[in-house]
Amino acid sequence: MRIAFYAPLKPPDHPVPSGDRRMGRLLIAALRLAGHEVEVASRLRSRDGAGDAGRQQRLAGLGARLAERYLHRSGPKPALWFTYHLYDKAPDHLGPAVAAALGIPYVVAEASLAPSRAAGAWTAGHDSVTAALRQAALVIGFNDADAHCVIPALADPGHYRHLRPFLDTAPYTALVGERNALRTACAAAYGLDPARPWLVALAMMRPGAKLSSYRLLAQALRPLAGRDWQLLAIGDGAARAEIAAALAPLGRQAILAGAVAPKAVPALLTAADMMVWPAIDEAYGMALLEAQAAGLPVIAGRSPGVEGIVGDGITGLLAPQGDAAALTRHIAALLDDPGQRRALGEAARRCVVEHHDLPHAAVRLDTLLRQACAR
The residues that bridge with 301 in the sheet, in sequence order, are 319
Which helix or strand (DSSP H or E) is residue 42 part of?
A: strand 37-42
DSSP 172-239: HHTTTT-HHHHHHHHHHHHT--TTS-EEEEE----TTHHHHHHHHHHHHHGGGTTSS-EEEEE--STT
Q: Tell me if 294 sits within 8 A of 175, measured CB to CB.
A: yes
CA distance 107 to 141: 11
CB burial class (10 A; 0-12, 13-18, 19+) of residue 201? buried
Question: Which strands form 298-301's sheet, in the order they lie side by side?
Answer: 254-258, 230-234, 198-202, 274-277, 298-301, 316-319
User: Domain 2-166+357-374 in CATH: superfamily?
Assistant: Glycogen Phosphorylase B; (3.40.50.2000)
pTM, full prediction: 0.91
Residue 251's region, left for phi above 0, alpha for psi from -120 to 50, else beta, is left
- Measured CA to CA, the distance from residue 325 to residue 78 in angstroms comes to 52
**Measured distance CA(60)–CA(47) in Å, rounded:** 11
Are the C-beta atoms of 67 and 34 separated by less than 8 Å? no
Confidence tier at 282 by pLDDT (50, 70, 90)? confident
Q: Which long-range contacts (CB under 8 A, 24 or more apart) does 236-244 make?
A: 236/204, 236/205, 237/204, 237/205, 237/206, 237/210, 238/205, 238/206, 238/207, 239/205, 239/206, 239/207, 239/210, 239/211, 239/214, 240/205, 242/207, 242/211, 242/215, 243/205, 243/211, 243/214, 243/215
CA-CA-CA-CA torsion sign (25, 26, 27, 31): positive
Per residue in 332-353, pLDDT (tens digit) is 999 999 999 999 999 999 999 9
**pLDDT tops 90 at residue 226:** no
Q: What is the pLDDT of residue 58?
A: 97
Same fold across 2-166+357-374 and 170-355: yes
Domain range summary for the chain, segments of one domain joined by +: 2-166+357-374, 170-355
298: closest CA among 268, 340, 265, 257?
A: 340
CATH 3.40.50.2000 fits 170-355, yes or no: yes
Which of 318, 223, 232 is closest to 273 using CA atoms? Answer: 232
What's the pLDDT score for residue 18? 80
User: pLDDT, tens digit, for every residue of 146-203?
Assistant: 888 899 999 999 999 999 999 999 999 999 999 999 999 999 999 999 999 999 999 9
Q: pLDDT by residue (tens digit) across 101-143?
A: 999 999 999 998 888 888 888 999 999 999 999 999 999 999 8
Q: At what angle do helices 324-336 and 338-355 cross, to 10 degrees?
A: 110
| Vertex 331 angle, CA 330 and 336, to 5° | 100
Quickly state the pLDDT bin for 269 (edges 50, 70, 90): very high
In angstroms, the CA 321 to CA 26 distance is 28
Residue 17 reports pLDDT greater than 80: no
- 62 band by pLDDT with thresholds 50, 70 and 90: very high
Reported confidence tier of residue 246, pLDDT bands at 50, 70, 90: very high
pLDDT-based confidence at residue 283 (cuts at 50, 70, 90) = confident
- Please give the Cα distance from 50 to 83 (Å, whole number): 23
Instruction: Determine the pLDDT at residue 177.
Output: 92
Is 363 a residue whose pLDDT tops 90? yes
